[in-house]
């Protein structure tokens, strides 16, 4: 390779010293070497210019010798790329071989960029002018246009691989082009900006000319590409932020109408430099400093970052810019957009002491040199010292160091001295650590490192979600006020995430919640009411997927986090509230359904939240859930009854009275054991047969059958907000094959003659839901007569035992299915024992005629029917299994009777029981132990019951 390279140099340079210098240069710059190998004739062009630092005018004059306006766009882009590489050979030669001052290198790079921008502007403008004519204002004058350089370009401080930060400004949007095909001035200049961007960013095998960054314009990426001068003035006066003030310190007209560019600077000057200082400005500067400090903490983690790291370039720039802004009102002549020249001015005015000024000047030059020497090898946009690179020895060589130790010592000395000065400036205010998450210059890796440093689990997943929360919906990016609220929320949310095993799930819920702008303000208002609100919300998102989804779909439920409603819901109170909800004018049936479903979820959410936080126990939770279900059931039947009577009239008995009816709850609804997600077991009885008294007569049986169907529809219909309850009527006389409704007399006759033992068991848990019915007392007298006039026979108890074994075999097996309801030692064991004792001894005490398993167990112990040993075995196991059932449902909304296989869910359940370590293993162990305990008591007690 070097033999060929030497031949190229011999042909094109014909100067031994320069040839050796070019070989040395290319040893340190692979991207220039590769270019020279492909285009050796470039050496002939640059040879006379080696060692010269060129300004914009000189470079532009050189470029303009070519008749570039006749190029096609493709030819023009190729021309620019070649000119860039030729100029970079000159600049790199001056830097590495001649070791010129860093200020000359940055000036040369910036001058070239400005010349290229001017050339590109003229080429693009000429193209558009040919197509659309010249843009003119209403007076007929040509509208001026300027490219404003920002950042390092504006300060004449470009690197070898810098982006160029620019914005476009033009005179006025009022007017049109004067060509045959007219377009508005705004459209013309946006097209102009697009073409400039495209020509500079176009890539081929050589590379690109410049990476162009236009995101510093008003409103960033979502703002117009080009704006008239007046729009900039209004934007900065109204919305300008302190970071934009510091950004504009380096603003410099670099191409286009330069005089108009200076007019732009004069227009924004009142925004950049305040006449007087106020607290807000100083606080903003402090926040910017803190932001830089947070970057330092991250960028110095595993690497030496000369720009953003400890004691880096960004710290020096902040010192200079902050001092300019703070002191400009008294010393307007201290301003200069170039960092080194600004340091001189600050020192002249004694706003920076000579020692600190000298320290910062030397540090700036040293760090910029390191930065250039990093980028010159492969023209990569990096600010990191390549300590782990295989070519690090070459890096040290071109930076002027013999050993790594020598470099380390100098680097640490320089950066420490910079950071000392930086730390002293505006040092009297603490900063919010989590604000680092909003720094757009930090990537996922940086945020991940920050989260790791806070011991937050799954940091990479969390970092991506956090970025997405801050970014917002791709169609509606975050507004400034939204980010301000998010910053406020994150101060509470992020520092506490280390406590949780599932921080990614928590943040996912927050992402969904914060998607809606209105929710941000709701959370803010609720947070004002309760300082601990956000912590409670985080706990909720950590605890329960089911309740979290309710909250996301109905944010009004979040009010219960800071103001939970008393769990002592009575049916009457809930029913009254429900009627208040729907008894409003202009509420149609569809809206009624939606409002009720939202209201139900509010009640369920409140109970679930209280239960998970152990403000209520499992028995209280089931009692409250049952009362909620009963209230909705009554409402469904009342509303349906009213609509049917409007159509058919009232159902009339043979005795000419209005036929009353009963809604009887069975299973969990009857026994006050409704769990989260339970179905409702119902049977409907009516007073007597007959006909309705409306114009369209139907039989009472038809009427009440329709009543059941409408009520089921009312409860079960799926809408946008879900459904209320699923209804099961298979426990009615004759089961699924029986009629939907029956008279209370037929119900009595059926149980006298035909009902089986299992139906008597079901009847034990039967309770009237609509207690105001005139048939209530009659029903209880029938129930009492059927169940509690005498003890059952042993063969019926044996039947119950056999049925239990059959259920276990058919539904609860195999053992490792871990069915906590039908399986070995499950809830059915406990329920069947309680029911068997009720059927045998219920006639002896009113206490044993209740429907609730929990209380029946207590009464059996109190009355001496079961021993303390058996009571505690059944009672404690009953509570444990009910917890398992409800926690499974409230955590993940799983309607199952099996112990979950998900270790994370089992761990959550274990944490509820107080386990810290190996929670999922301990809960499995407890479950197996409970099963054996329950089955042991079951066997002992059935052995007693089946004795002759």
Is the separation of the CB atoms in 910 and 922 below 8 Å? yes
**Which two tokens mark 354?**
């000579």
In tens, the pLDDT along 139-182 reads 999 999 999 999 999 999 999 988 999 999 999 999 999 999 99
Backbone angles phi, psi at 664, to 5 degrees: -105, 125
Task: Please give the pLDDT value at position 618.
Answer: 95
Tell whether the model's pLDDT for residue 201 goes beyond 70. Answer: yes
For 33-56, the pLDDT digits (tens) are 888 888 888 888 888 899 999 999
Minimum mean pLDDT range among 119-133, 369-383, 577-591, 592-606: 577-591
In the predicted structure, residue 626 carries a pLDDT above the cut 80: yes
For the segment 466-475, the average pLDDT, to the nearest whole number, is 85
Helix (H) or strand (E) holding 768: strand 767-768
Res 356: pLDDT: 94
Other C-beta atoms closer than 10 Å to the C-beta of 468 total 16
Average pLDDT, the chain: 90
Helix pair 229-238, 258-272: axis angle to 10 deg:
10
Find out whether 8 and 40 touch, Cβ atoms under 8 Å.
Answer: yes
> d(Cα 150, Cα 898) in Å, to the nearest integer?
64
pLDDT per residue over 747-775, tens digit each?
A: 999 888 877 888 899 999 999 999 999 99
What secondary structure letter does DSSP report for 698? -
CA distance 558 to 536: 10
Q: What is the distance of C-alpha 857 from the center of its chain?
A: 48
Structure-model confidence comparison of residues 920 and 439, the more confident one: 920
pLDDT in tens, 636-662: 999 999 999 999 999 999 889 999 999
- Percentage of the residues of the chain whose pLDDT score is greater than 70: 95
Q: Residue 698 phi/psi, 5° resolution? A: -140, 165
When comparing pLDDT for 283 and 486, which is higher? 486
Summarize pLDDT for 296-307 with one digit per residue, the tens: 767 666 678 888
Out of 14-28, 112-126, 219-233, 396-410, give the one with best mean pLDDT.
112-126
Long-range CB contact pairs, 213-219, < 8 A, 24+ = 213/163, 213/164, 213/165, 213/166, 214/166, 214/167, 214/168, 216/150, 216/151, 216/165, 216/167, 216/244, 216/247, 217/167, 217/168
Name the residue with higher pLDDT: 220 or 198.
Answer: 198
pLDDT at 893: 76
Q: Tell me, what's the pLDDT at 568? A: 78
* Statement: residue 677 has pLDDT above 60: yes
Higher pLDDT among residues 945 and 291, named by residue? 945
Using CB atoms within 10 Å of the CB of residue 818, give its burial: 0 to 12 exposed, 13 to 18 middle, 19+ buried: buried
Task: Please report the pLDDT score of residue 562 as a whole number.
Answer: 66
pLDDT for 383: 87
By DSSP bridging, strand 164-170 and strand 145-150 are antiparallel
What pLDDT is recorded for position 53? 93
* Helix locations, 754-793, DSSP H: 757-764, 776-787
Per-residue model confidence (pLDDT) at position 1: 44
Of 124-128, 223-227, 610-614, 641-645, the one with minimum mean pLDDT is 610-614
Judge whether residue 736 has pLDDT over 80: no
State the pLDDT confidence band at 911, using cuts at 50, 70 and 90: confident
Give residue 131's pLDDT.
Answer: 95
Looking at 863-902, list the stretches that DSSP marks H as alpha helix, in order from N- to C-terminal side: 868-892
Interval 238-253 mean pLDDT: 90
Least confident of 107-116, 209-218, 495-504: 495-504
Which tens digits make up the pLDDT trace of 789-799?
888 889 999 99
Secondary structure class of 607 (helix, strand, coil):
helix
- pLDDT value of position 296: 72
Question: What residue spans of 66-101 are helical by DSSP H?
Answer: 73-92
73-98 tens-digit pLDDT:
999 999 999 999 999 999 999 999 99
**pLDDT single digits (tens) 99-108:** 999 999 999 9
Give the pLDDT score at 278. 58
Rounded distance between C-alpha atoms, residue 567 and residue 676, angstroms: 15
pLDDT at site 301: 63
Residue 375 dihedral angles phi and psi, to the nearest 5°:
-85, -20
Stated pTM of the model: 0.64
The DSSP line for 218-270 is: TTGGGS-SEEEHHHHHHHHHHT--HHHHHHHTT-EEEEE-HHHHHHHHHHHHH
């Amino acid at each position: 390779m070097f033999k060929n390279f030497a031949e190229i140099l011999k042909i094109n340079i014909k100067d031994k010293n320069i040839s050796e210098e070019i070989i040395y240069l290319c040893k340190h710059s692979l991207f220039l070497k590769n270019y020279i190998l492909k285009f050796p004739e470039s050496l002939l062009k640059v040879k006379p210019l080696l060692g010269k630092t060129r300004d914009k005018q000189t470079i532009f004059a050189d470029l303009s010798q070519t008749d570039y306006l006749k190029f096609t766009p493709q030819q023009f882009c190729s021309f620019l790329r070649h000119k860039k590489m030729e100029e970079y050979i000159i600049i790199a030669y001056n830097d590495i071989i001649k070791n010129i001052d860093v200020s000359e290198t940055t000036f040369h790079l910036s001058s070239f960029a400005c010349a290229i921008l001017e050339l590109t502007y003229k080429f693009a403008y000429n193209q558009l002018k040919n197509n659309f004519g010249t843009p003119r204002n209403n007076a007929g004058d040509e509208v001026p246009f300027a490219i404003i350089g920002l950042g390092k370009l504006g300060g004449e401080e470009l690197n070898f691989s810098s982006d160029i930060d620019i914005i476009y400004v033009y005179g006025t949007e009022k007017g049109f082009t004067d060509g045959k095909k007219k377009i508005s001035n705004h459209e013309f200049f946006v097209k102009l900006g697009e073409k400039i961007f495209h020509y500079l960013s176009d890539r081929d095998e050589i590379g690109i000319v410049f990476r162009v960054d236009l995101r510093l314009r008003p409103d960033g990426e979502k703002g117009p590409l080009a704006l008239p001068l007046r729009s900039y003035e209004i934007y900065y006066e109204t919305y300008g932020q302190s970071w934009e003030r510091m950004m504009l310190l380096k603003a410099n007209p670099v191409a286009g109408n330069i005089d108009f560019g200076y007019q732009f600077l004069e227009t924004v000057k009142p925004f950049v430099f305040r006449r007087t200082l106020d607290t807000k400005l100083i606080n903003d500067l402090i926040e910017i400093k803190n932001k830089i400090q947070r970057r330092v903490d991250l960028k110095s983690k595993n690497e030496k970052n000369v720009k953003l790291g400890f004691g880096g370039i960004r710290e020096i720039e902040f010192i200079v810019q902050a001092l300019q802004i703070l002191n400009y009102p008294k010393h307007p002549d201290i301003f200069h957009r170039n960092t080194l020249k600004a340091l001189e001015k600050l020192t002249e005015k004694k706003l920076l002491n000579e020692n600190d000024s000298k320290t910062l000047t030397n540090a700036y030059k040293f760090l910029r040199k390191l930065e250039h020497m990093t980028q010159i090898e492969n023209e990569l946009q990096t600010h990191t010292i390549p300590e782990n690179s295989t070519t690090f020895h070459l890096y040290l060589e071109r930076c002027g160091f013999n050993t790594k130790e020598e470099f380390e010592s100098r680097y640490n000395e320089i950066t420490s001295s910079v950071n000392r000065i930086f730390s002293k400036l505006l040092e009297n205010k603490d900063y919010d650590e989590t604000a680092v998450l909003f720094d757009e210059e930090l990537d996922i890796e940086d945020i991940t490192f920050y989260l790791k440093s806070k011991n937050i689990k799954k940091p990479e997943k969390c970092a991506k979600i956090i970025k997405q929360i801050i970014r917002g919906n791709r169609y509606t990016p975050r507004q400034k006020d939204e980010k301000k609220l998010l910053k406020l929320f994150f101060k509470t949310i992020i520092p506490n995430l280390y406590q949780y095993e599932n921080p990614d799930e928590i943040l996912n819920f927050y992402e969904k919640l914060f998607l809606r702008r209105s929710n941000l303000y709701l959370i803010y208002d609720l947070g004002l009411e309760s300082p601990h609100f956000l912590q409670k919300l985080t706990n909720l998102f950590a605890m329960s997927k089911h309740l979290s989804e309710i909250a996301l779909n109905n944010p009004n439920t979040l009010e219960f986090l800071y103001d939970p409603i008393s769990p002592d819901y009575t049916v009457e109170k809930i029913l009254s509230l429900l009627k208040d909800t729907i008894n409003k004018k202009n509420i149609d049936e569809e809206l009624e359904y939606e409002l009720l479903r939202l209201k139900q979820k509010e009640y369920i959410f409140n109970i679930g939240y209280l239960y998970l936080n152990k403000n209520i126990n499992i028995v209280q939770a089931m009692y409250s859930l049952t009362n909620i279900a009963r209230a909705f059931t009554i409402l469904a039947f009342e509303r349906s009854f009213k609509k049917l009577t409007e159509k058919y009239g009232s159902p009339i008995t043979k005795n000419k009275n209005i036929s009353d009816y009963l809604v009887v709850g069975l299973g969990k609804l009857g026994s006050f054991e409704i769990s989260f997600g339970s179905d409702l077991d119902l049977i409907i009885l009516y007073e007597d047969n007959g006909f309705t008294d409306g114009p369209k007569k139907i039989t009472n049986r038809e009427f009440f059958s329709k009543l059941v169907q409408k009520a089921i529809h009312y409860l079960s219909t799926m809408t946008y907000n879900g459904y209320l309850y699923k209804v099961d009527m298979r426990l009615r006389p004759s089961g699924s094959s029986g009629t939907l409704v029956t008279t209370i007399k037929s119900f009595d006759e059926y149980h006298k003659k035909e009902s089986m033992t299992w139906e008597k068991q079901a009847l034990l848990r039967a309770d009237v839901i609509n207690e105001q019915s005139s048939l209530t007392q009659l029903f209880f007298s029938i129930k009492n007569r059927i169940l509690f006039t005498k003890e059952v026979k042993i063969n019926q108890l044996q039947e119950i035992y056999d049925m239990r074994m059959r259920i276990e075999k058919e539904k609860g097996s195999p053992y490792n299915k871990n069915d906590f309801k039908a399986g070995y030692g499950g809830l059915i064991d406990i329920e069947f024992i309680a029911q068997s004792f009720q059927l045998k001894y219920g006639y002896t005490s009113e206490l044993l005629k209740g429907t609730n398993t929990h209380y029946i167990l207590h009464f059996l112990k109190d009355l001496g029917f079961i021993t303390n040993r058996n009571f505690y075995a059944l009672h404690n196991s009953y509570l444990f299994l009910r917890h398992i059932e409800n926690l499974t449902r409230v955590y993940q909304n799983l309607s199952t009777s099996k112990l979950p296989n998900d270790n994370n869910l089992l761990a959550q359940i274990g944490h509820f029981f107080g386990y810290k370590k190996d929670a999922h293993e301990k809960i499995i162990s407890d479950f197996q132990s409970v099963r054996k305990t329950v089955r042991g008591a079951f066997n002992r007690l059935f052995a007693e019951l089946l004795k002759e």
